[in-house]
Amino acid sequence: MSESSLNDNIRDFYDQSTHLWLDTWGEHMHHGYYGPDGKEKKDRRQAQIDLIEKLLDWGDTRSATQILDAGCGVGGSARYLAARFKARVLGMTLSPVQAEEGALYNRKAGLEDQVQIEVRDMMRVQKADGPFDLIWSMESAEHIADKQQLFERFSDVLAPGGSLLMATWCHRKPIPTLSRKEQKLLAKLYRIYNLPPMVDGEQLASFAEAAGLKSVLQEDWSDAVAPFWQEVIRSALELRNFSLLLKTGWAVLEGAWAMRYMRKGYKMGLIRFVVLQAKKTDA
């Protein structure tokens, strides 16, 4: 699939599904954090905020003034980071629906002067947009086919001394080789969620290092976020939400059905939730 076709499919999926997600879960469109072993009981929306805080703590991020939220959805993280650091944040999404909703959230939060959300491919970010002292990539890099180019783009727009924090979907390290059963499950997820082939965490880190980024670390937080998919399934089956789901397009219905594949992938140890941090050295 070409890059333009992939982007069209991603845009259409989020244009169709965003209102349903917002109505059910709110402005944060990412996993939640349920403790290191995934056993902490908490409100699902609090779990999403906790994931943001845990990633910031892990990356030892104490300040930021210019932030890029690459693949920002409706800007939930962008607004959180803007308020936390009193920073200016540029968010990029392929979905006009998400950008429109994000602008409404910005005004409601009184952050329209700090947070800007554009309909733009994150791979088109330019030096003139930055430089950024923090690039935030929360569950968006899995949609990018050329991950080496993605890290090179990020390295190019980071300010000297700037940091990258990323959370993304990966598959397990292919030792032993991925089985036919695992490959079939991945193929279903790739098609339904508009994903190019995934990589493993070590490959992800090697791309960052090849792009010239330093102090690259990656960790597997799969256990900590694994309860998320059961929470999503449970919320989708609530009567009110289920009736809303039935009114959406086929792609969204199929995406809802595929949640069971994600949950199965976590149980199999196939789907991994990987976080990565890296820095650009001083010029």
**Residue pLDDT, tens place only, 187-240:** 999 998 889 999 999 999 999 999 999 999 999 999 999 998 888 777 655 545
Q: What is the pLDDT of residues 237-275, one digit of tens each?
A: 554 544 555 455 545 555 565 678 888 999 999 999 999
Q: Domain of 189: which CATH number?
A: 3.40.50.150
- Give dist(CA 1, CA 148) in Å, integer: 18
Q: What is the pLDDT of residue 249?
A: 55
Beta strands in 98-225 (DSSP E): 115-119, 132-138, 158-171, 214-220
The amino acid that residue 7 corresponds to is N
Reported pTM:
0.92
| Residue 169 domain boundaries | 3-279
The total number of structural domains in the chain stands at 1
